Amino acid sequence: MKIKRLNNYYTDENTYLVYENGVAFVIDPGYKTDGIIKAAADENVEIKYILITHCHYDHIEFMEELREKTGAKLVSGTKGAVNITDPAINMTLAGLGKAIYAKPSDIILKDGESIDIGGMDVRCIYTPGHTDCGVCYMVEDHVFVGDTLFLRNCGRWDLPTGDEETLYKSVREKLYTLPDETKVHPGHGEATSIGYEKKFNMFIKA
């Protein structure tokens, strides 16, 4: 498995291209569509799926355009499929100046459910708190966490559907229970590891 991170300078949002055996999926397409498609072409891989960790505008800004241009299927958790259709919750009007009424997800994964993409086992982990639709995706010893956990920090909870105690519970019970060597790929900022965050994250103690 290979991972390419694409960062949107304006929102500091991380979009991830994950690929193997000529097949790729994109996590949180907040990076320009043409840039994502070029990154896939450079690696000679085909984008088959788009996965979202949660509904916020900076993570879904180019989602519909990417779906249209690639024909990729959209994957989310249960509430994510609903929240992306509601501009009041996905904050697209406030964040982008235009409302996005996205189409519902093509595939909805339950907590702990997996999907096979190009031989990669991608497991969905429900981690509400930053939003009520937050999920993470575990692939081998890597976890893509959206805005649930950051390097020495965590996501905010004062936006629509967010809740502080729920976020803390998700991190402690769903993420901090993963092996310490698990590499963490956040929606903003640099990568970290579960072991490092358990030791040094001042916001959520292990």
Q: State the pLDDT at residue 153.
A: 98
CB-count exposure of residue 132 (10 Å: 0-12, 13-18, 19+): buried
Average pLDDT over residues 42-69: 98
- Whole-model pTM? 0.98
Predicted pLDDT at 49: 98
Give the ranges where 71-157 is alpha helix by DSSP (H).
78-83, 87-90, 92-96
- What confidence tier does 11 reach under pLDDT thresholds 50, 70, 90? very high
The pLDDT score that the predictor gives to residue 65 is 98
CA 120 to mean position of chain CA atoms: 17
- Hey, which residues does 183 pair with through a beta bridge? 142, 193
Helix (H) or strand (E) holding 23: strand 23-27
Give the rounded percent of residues in the chain with a pLDDT score beyond 70: 100
pLDDT grade, residue 134 (50/70/90)?
A: very high
Average pLDDT on 162-183 reads 98
**Across the chain, what does the average pLDDT equal?**
97
In tens, the pLDDT along 74-126 reads 999 999 999 999 999 999 999 999 999 999 999 999 999 999 999 999 999 99
The fraction of the chain above a pLDDT of 90, given in percent, is 100
Q: What is the DSSP letter of 97?
A: S
Distance CA 204, CA 10 (A): 27
Domains in the chain, please, with CATH?
2-200 (3.60.15.10)
Instruction: Report pLDDT for 185.
Output: 99
CB count in 10 Å sphere of residue 128: 23
